[in-house]
Amino acid sequence: MTVERARYGADAAAGLAGTLPQPFPRTIGPNATSYLHEVVESGLTCNMIGRFEDAFAEEMGVEHCIATPGCTPALAVLACALDFNPGDEIIVSSVTDYGTVQGIIRENYIPVFADTDAGTVVSSAETIAPCITDRTRAILVVHMTGTICDMDPIVELAEKHGLIVYEDACQAVFGEYNGRFAGSLSNAGAFSFDSEKTMGSDIGGCVVTADGDLAERMRFIGHSRGGQMLEGFGRQHVVPGFAHRMPQCTAAVSLAQLEIIRPNVEQRDRMIRLLAEKLEEIPGITPLPIPDYMNVYSCWMAGFSVDPDAFTCTPDAFAQQVAEGGIPGAGTGRYYLMPPALPFLHEKAEKKLYPYSMPPASRDYSYNGDTCPNAQRFLESFVRWSSFCERYQPEHCELAAHVVKEVADRNRA
Ligand SMILES: Cc1ncc(COP(=O)(O)O)c(C=O)c1O
């Protein structure tokens, strides 16, 4: 049997048809060419990375930004910099992308997946609290689709237990929670500038933090491979560092994208709210909830739930008909449920292979959807489309809702 490899970026979107706007080819900030030119003209001596880091930190209102070649590397460097022990537990939202957990797994920490709140794609203090044990060291929340988690109760819970909180804000760049930006609501926040993402800049990412010591440690581990100069010897690597520096050319494109990101996000916010209103009017369809505390919804992925009792077809068939009806990329999103998406982790835990051996593990672990019943149930009937983008205008929201309504009316029970 041939197994199809996962596709990414423009490649994943290739061949999608339909009458609605699509994110590719991406709109690139007007200064990109001149910044790229500077990189080349300087013979790679200009500090485009530093310029991007300073500009992003300033726009976010945080002190430090460490640029990386993606969010997966950003979170890997952060996991290493946190310096926990193998077998220590990090609580992670159960609905996310593999990039969220890769660093945790590589450090031999143990991911413990928190369920989502019923009816949504994000975790909360209520779903995180039962996961806390004496081995928990940190909570990694994910602002999935752009829906920002209710952070104040989560931070309060963490403080009570002496835990670090950090955010995967890949899908929520410049989204606002009670007037503060996603990614700046905890000890640290990580972003992706992957070509598909809202601030698409090819393959890039960063971490922001107000913690100077953590920022310095991340630079040392992530940028300089944990290397320092030893007299009479040369470079000595005192920690297992990474070569995860953002390339200068990506920094040039990212800087240009940063200059156009705020209007992009504002447009997404306006359009997703309009789209949600229109989807709400269709019996049997529930758009993703938009919490009141989220004053800017930097929506990367649009989606809605299908009431299985209201229709004669399965949610998968519904999604397929929606895609055929003109919404490119519409599909169910079961694969976002991390425990079943990581069979190698399940196997390791079952066989009690390191770090699931005793010690360092503190208990038995298993990774399957049953451990996150809300998330599992929700994703069974959730239809999403990541081709939602800043090019949507009111008429496109109208058209998208019309496509969904037609499929709904055709399949009504
Ligand atoms: C929530 C989330 N976390 C992490 C990642 C990984 O980001 P990157 O592709 O920049 O490594 C993604 C990308 O899809 C994501 O959506």
Check whether 17 has a pLDDT greater than 90.
no
71 CB within 6 A, ligand 1? yes
Q: Give the pLDDT band of residue 19 (cuts 50, 70, 90).
A: confident
Measured from the CB, is residue 192 less than 6 Å from ligand 1? yes
- Indicate if the pLDDT at residue 195 is higher than 90: yes
Distance 110 CA to ligand 1 centre (A): 19
**Is there a domain that residue 263 lies in?**
no
Quote the number of domains for the chain: 1
Answer whether residue 230 is part of any domain.
yes
CA torsion sign for 255, 260, 263, 267 is negative
What stretch of H or E contains 236? strand 234-237
State residue 92 phi and psi, 5-degree precision. -130, 145
Give the pLDDT band of residue 16 (cuts 50, 70, 90). Answer: low
Q: Is the CB of residue 248 below 6 angstroms from any atom belonging to ligand 1?
A: no
Q: Collapse the DSSP code of 232 into the 3-class scheme (helix H, G, I; strand E, B; otherwise coil) and give the result.
A: coil
| pLDDT above 70 for 265 | yes
Strand-pair category, 64-68 with 205-209: antiparallel
254 Cβ closer than 6 Å to some ligand 1 atom: no
Q: Which two three-digit tokens encode residue 192? A: 């992706």
**Residue 232 neighbours by CB distance under 10 Å:** 4
Q: 């706007």: which residue's tokens?
A: 21
| pLDDT of 61 strictly over 80 | yes
Residue 125 lies in a domain: yes
Least confident of 18-22, 86-90, 273-277, 400-404: 18-22
**Mean of pLDDT values over 143-147:** 98
CA 196 to ligand 1 center in whole angstroms? 10
- The answer to whether residue 137 sits within a structural domain is yes
Would 207 be classed as within a structural domain?
yes
CB contact at 8 A, 20 and 328: yes
| Residue at 211 is within a domain | yes
Q: Is 355 domain-assigned?
A: no
Mean pLDDT value across residues 140-152:
98
Q: How far is the CA of 99 from the centre of ligand 1 (A)?
A: 5
Counting residues of the chain whose pLDDT is more than 70, the rounded percentage is: 98
Q: Rounded to the nearest 10 degrees, how much is the dihedral formed by the CA atoms of 104, 106, 107, 111?
A: 30
* Ligand 1 pocket residue status of 147, Cβ below 6 Å: no
pLDDT band at 3 (very low <50, low <70, confident <90, very high): confident
Look up residue 241 and give its amino acid: G
Task: Tell how far the Cα of 387 is from the centroid of ligand 1, in angstroms.
Answer: 16
CA–CA gap between residue 129 and residue 34 (Å, rounded): 49
Structural domain including 57 reads 32-255
* Confidence band, pLDDT 50/70/90 cuts, at residue 15: low
**Residue 386 pLDDT class (50, 70, 90 cuts):** confident
Ligand 1 mean position to 50 CA, how many Å?
22
Asked if residue 385 is part of any domain, the answer here is no
Residue 141 sits in a domain whose CATH number is: 3.40.640.10
Per-residue pLDDT at 13 exceeds 70: no
Residues for the chain: how many in total?
A: 413
d(CA 96, CA 114): 11
Mean pLDDT of the chain: 95
Q: Which tokens sit at 206?
A: 């960063």
Q: Does 159 have pLDDT greater than 80?
A: yes
53-61 CB contacts, 8 Å cutoff, 24+ apart:
53/206, 55/255, 55/258, 56/206, 56/208, 56/254, 56/258, 57/208, 59/174, 59/258, 59/261, 59/262, 60/174, 60/181, 60/183, 60/184, 60/208, 61/181, 61/184
